[in-house]
């Protein structure tokens, strides 16, 4: 039976967009910016990724443009009000979501359900791709899967060990002190990390549409942007724990396919609900864990007012 290997790989693939988006959001939240509109960013990334891939027959280019589109989109609709004008953070997030929802459908109206013919390059890990079972489990994925897996480790290292990472955490903890006491360019770095958040969110959407689903469809993300938000909270703002959360939800996302293939006696609608219930569940588990102390960056969601 290859079912297990097959669904393990499918779960990893389904978890990858979540992991990418959650990593981006975690970086944004590290500098104190809560963006609830990742869903919209992912949709923009997804639609531009598919459109570019269909036109150029180059999935790599599609992914890149999708990521860039996400960054530009978030800079315009989130960094401009929140960082430049000092508005509160949640409402612009909803604005990003709504604009992304509408704009992606406007862009993608003629591309709906057109399958992407060219997939992304599958990387076979040297050495591992000779071992029978292991190679199917971890040895042969499109390259964004490996990138998504490695990124949280890089982020953890940067945040914990480098001067730049400490500066970012200082901004998130107390922007005023970071600016006044440490002379960190708060607005600049916040803008940069909004762009990074958008870049990874757009990339996540493009990976979802171009690689995992293989086509653009209206609201292809189906709440994954918000699940990513749940994954960030579940991680307790420690990037390596994002991996756990994202793959758990990834496994729940393919549950309906699995149930269909193995003809489980459970209605598929209930299996389809599982990722959403799962997101609520992991948040609850996070809140229930012993010795809980809020690990959120101190200024997360706090509105700054600028003068000068």
Partner 1 sequence: MSLSLPTVTDVHVRQSIGVRSLRSRWTWIRQEPSETRSWICRLIAVVLALVVAGAYLVITVHVPDVLGLVLRTTFTTAPGLQELVVLATPFFLTAMAAQIPLRVGLWNVGGEGQFFAGAWLATAFAFSLPHAPGGVLIIGMLLAGAVGGAIWVAIPVLVKTLLNVNEIITTLMLNFAATYWIAYWITGSWRYPSTQGGTIESRFMPAQSNLPLIHLAGGLDSGLIIAVALTIAVGLAVRYSIFGYRTLIVGSGRAVSSYAGVRVRWVIALSLLLGGALAGAGGVLQLIGNSHQLTPGLSDNTGYLGIAVAVLAGGSVLGVIVMSCLLAVIMSVGQAVQIYGVSSEDVFILIGLLLLLATIAEVVAKYRLVRKVPTGGTARVPKEPVGLAPSVSESSRAAVAGDVG
| Residues forming the site for partner 1 (CB under 8 A) | 34, 36, 40, 77, 81, 85-92, 94-103, 105-106, 109, 175-176, 179-180, 186-187, 218, 222-223, 226-227, 229-230, 233, 267, 269-270, 272-273, 276-277, 279-280, 283-284, 286-288, 292-296, 299-308
Closest to partner 1 by CB, 147 or 229: 229
**What's the rounded Cα separation, in Å, for the pair 94 and 118?**
34
In the complex, the smallest distance separating the C-beta of residue 242 from partner 1, rounded to whole angstroms, is: 15
Q: How far is the CB of 173 from partner 1 (least distance, A)?
A: 11
Give least dist CB 223 to partner 1, A: 5
Tell the smallest beta-carbon distance from residue 149 to partner 1 (Å).
24
Cα angle vertex 226, ends 85, 189, to 5°?
35
Task: Compute the least distance from the CB of residue 67 to partner 1, in Å.
Answer: 21
Q: Which is nearer to partner 1, 4 or 306 (CB)?
A: 306
Interatomic CA distance for residues 106 and 9, integer angstroms: 33
CA dist 63 and 74 (Å) reads 17
- In order of 115, 118, 138, 144, the CA distances from 122 in angstroms are 18, 11, 12, 9
Smallest separation, CB 302 to partner 1 (Å)? 5
- Nearest partner of 53 among 217, 213, 219, 206, judged by Cα: 206
Rounded to the nearest whole angstrom, what is the least distance from the CB of residue 200 to partner 1 in the complex? Answer: 19
Nearer to partner 1, 63 or 230 (CB): 230
CA angle 282, 19, 166 (to 5 degrees): 95
Nearest to partner 1 of 39, 212 (CB atom): 39
**Is the CA virtual torsion 44, 242, 36, 177 positive or negative?**
negative
Closer residue to partner 1 (CB): 150 or 285:
285
Q: Which of residues 154 and 176 has its CB atom nearest to partner 1 in the complex? A: 176
- The DSSP 8-state label assigned to residue 215 in this structure reads S
DSSP assignment, residue 116?
Answer: -
> Residue written as tokens 């007012």?
305
Cα–Cα–Cα angle for 218, 42, 86, nearest 5°?
125
- The secondary element (H helix, E strand) that includes residue 191 is helix 186-206
Taking the least distance from each CB to partner 1, the nearer of 162 and 268 is 268
Kindly state the tokens that stand for 154. 């890089």
Beta strands 122-124 and 140-142, pairing class = antiparallel
Smaller CB distance to partner 1: residue 103 or 244? 103
- Give the nearest distance from C-beta 34 to partner 1 in angstroms: 6
Please check whether residue 148 is in contact with residue 19, taking contact to mean a CB–CB distance below 8 angstroms.
yes
């Amino acid at each position: 039976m290859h079912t297990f290997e097959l669904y393990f790989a499918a779960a990893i693939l389904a978890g990858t967009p979540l992991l990418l988006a959650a990593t981006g959001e975690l970086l944004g939240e590290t500098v104190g910016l809560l963006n609830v509109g990742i869903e919209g960013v992912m949709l923009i990334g997804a639609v531009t990724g598919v459109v570019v891939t269909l036109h150029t027959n180059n999935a790599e280019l599609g992914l890149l443009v999708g990521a860039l589109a996400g960054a530009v989109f978030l800079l315009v609709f989130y960094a401009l009000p929140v960082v430049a004008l000092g508005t509160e953070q949640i409402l612009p997030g909803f604005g990003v979501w709504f604009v992304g929802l509408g704009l992606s459908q406007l862009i993608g109206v003629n591309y709906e359900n057109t399958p992407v013919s060219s997939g992304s390059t599958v990387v076979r890990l040297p050495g591992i791709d000779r071992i029978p079972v292991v190679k199917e489990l971890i040895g042969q994925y499109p390259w964004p899967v490996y990138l998504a897996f490695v990124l949280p480790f890089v982020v953890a290292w940067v945040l914990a060990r480098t001067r730049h990472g400490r500066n970012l955490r200082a901004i998130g903890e107390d922007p005023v002190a970071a600016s006044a006491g440490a002379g960190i360019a708060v607005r600049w770095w916040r803008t940069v990390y909004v762009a990074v958040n958008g870049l990874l969110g757009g990339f996540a959407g493009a990976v979802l549409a171009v690689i995992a689903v293989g086509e653009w469809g209206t609201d292809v993300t189906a709440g994954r942007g918000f699940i990513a938000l749940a994954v960030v909270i579940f991680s307790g703002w420690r990037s390596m724990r994002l991996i756990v959360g994202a793959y758990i939800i990834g496994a729940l996302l393919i549950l309906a396919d699995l149930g269909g293939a193995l003809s489980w006696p459970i209605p598929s609608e209930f299996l389809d609900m599982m990722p959403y219930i799962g997101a609520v569940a992991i948040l609850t588990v996070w809140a229930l864990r012993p010795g809980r102390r809020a690990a959120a960056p101190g200024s997360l969601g706090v509105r700054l007012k600028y003068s000068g």
